[in-house]
Amino acid sequence: MQARSDEEVRARLAELEARLARARAADWSRPPPSDLLADVSQALLLPDASWNRPPPPPGFAARLKALFARLAAWFRRRFGGGRAAKRAPRPGRTVTFARPAALGRALGPSDIGEALAALSAPQQRELTERVEGSLRARERTLEKEAEEKRKAADAQRRRLEEERAEAARRAASETEQRVREGEARRLERELKERGFVVEQGNSLVVTFGLVQRFARLLLEEESRRLPTDVRLSLKGEGATGVYEKARLRRAEEVAHLDVPGSLIAARLAGLKHIDESVSYVYREVTSERVHVVLAFDRSGSMAEAGKLDAAKKALLALYVAIRRRHPDATIDLLAFDNEVAVLDLVSLWECPAGSFTNLAEALRAAHLLLRSSRANRRELYVISDGLPEAYTGEDGRVYAGQLDRAMEAALLRATELGTVRPLRSTMILLKSPNPEYEPAARQIARTMGGDLVVTDPGHLGVELLVRWAHGIETERRWVAPPGAATGPTAPPSAPDGAPGARGRRRRADRRMGG
């Protein structure tokens, strides 16, 4: 349609150019060509044309001449005695060509011929210019109308293209949305079937199984960054040679499957094949009992730079590593801000950031858990990113903002933890540009009798796993000599001048992160 319109416009423009050329070469002493009759008629009827204007009033000389002529005629009639000469008709001021337009009719071919014959040479030139001007004005109007139509067609085409593109985007978005909804429904159904999520009200709630599965994946990911000896040590410890027959609990125990006993149990249960319900393995009996307390800071500052998420992932990976080596181990998860909360894996992963750091209350809770434990291997891991900011008063209320009192309370609780034997404690400080954080954390770690590790959030999981893998080392105990004072303090160091005192102090500082 647009191409046909452009062709029509070009044809009309070519026709106007041809008519313009004929108008320039026309001889106005003869009737014009038939295709120019309308243009010539329109030009002749223009009110401002020279031939349609009244003649100018006579000048002074003409009026004086007419006066003398009238006087001479009067004298001839008065004194001549004869008949006066016949008076010549007075020229009138009539509008020759504009009169038909005023009467509402157009000029015919004969009228146009008579009008052209009455035109003088200057008027013919004027007529040529006016016909050319009319044709050029019509040409410009036609070009303007064509340009406006072209712009309107382009705008309509753009609107149609935009509508088609929007419809395509909407269709693609709706298709993608339907695919996502279908995938979400399928995933939800599979998670429900496997017991990873349960429906409570109108929402889905994560179960322990899903978080545990996720924690195993985190452990596998962190294990790839561990040294080879550490990675191997996470798979198990030294053999004791004592086994017991028990049900299969972990996939790693399939290597110790009691095939005859499992087949008999399957036949007694009416099964043709062995499955998990009738699988028996020989499980090694270990005499070591393990109790681990994992405490992490969930104050408001931990929500910055992904520190809280990094702590959650690292603790989940460590939890699985502990369970893999010691299925019967006691693991306590503590989250502390103003108060201390005991968590499971699900609440650990969903734990939000809180307010201030009440490290003293976290150490107090860890002390209560570990002092009554009967495990022969007790470990404490504390993760934080700054100074103690709050403490719990004797009235049970939490006071925040008094850093000196909060530090004193944390050191007091760290001293209580130092009385727990055996205990291997590690305090992990996430890196901070504040220079005051590391000395305070080192003082708390030394008071507990433990180590200090300063690391960044991305390396936190590796640090925890390395510390745990080397936690089986025999802890050195200091035996006080007769008459020496006993208490919760660390063993006294040798005098500065004694041999080896400086080396022991340097090794202790290196172990504590100094």
Helices 2-24 and 121-194 meet at what angle, rounded to 10? 170
Helices 307-325 and 460-469 meet at what angle, rounded to 10? 20
**∠ CA(18), CA(24), CA(26), 5° rounding?**
100
Q: For position 135, what pLDDT does the model report?
A: 78
Q: For position 131, what pLDDT does the model report?
A: 79
CATH architecture of 206-237+289-474+504-514: 3-Layer(aba) Sandwich (3.40)
Q: For position 96, what pLDDT does the model report?
A: 52
Which parts of the chain register pLDDT below 50?
89, 91-95, 103, 471-514
Per-residue tokens: 75? 């004298």
Report the candidate in 330, 312, 394, 333 with the shortest Cα–Cα distance to residue 360. Answer: 394
Question: What residue segments make up the domains of the chain, in order of their start?
Answer: 2-81+93-149, 206-237+289-474+504-514, 246-285
The CA-atom distances, in angstroms, between 111 and each of 44, 98, 116, 117 are 10, 12, 9, 10
Is 186 in a helix, a strand, or coil?
Answer: helix
Q: Is 431 left (phi over 0), alpha (psi -120 to 50) or beta?
A: beta
Q: For position 476, what pLDDT does the model report?
A: 33
Q: For position 508, what pLDDT does the model report?
A: 37
Q: For position 483, what pLDDT does the model report?
A: 43
Q: For position 428, what pLDDT does the model report?
A: 94
Full-model pTM: 0.54
Say if residues 98 and 52 touch (Cβ distance below 8 Å): yes
Query: How far is it, in rounded angstroms, from Cα 183 to Cα 179?
Result: 6
Q: For position 479, what pLDDT does the model report?
A: 37
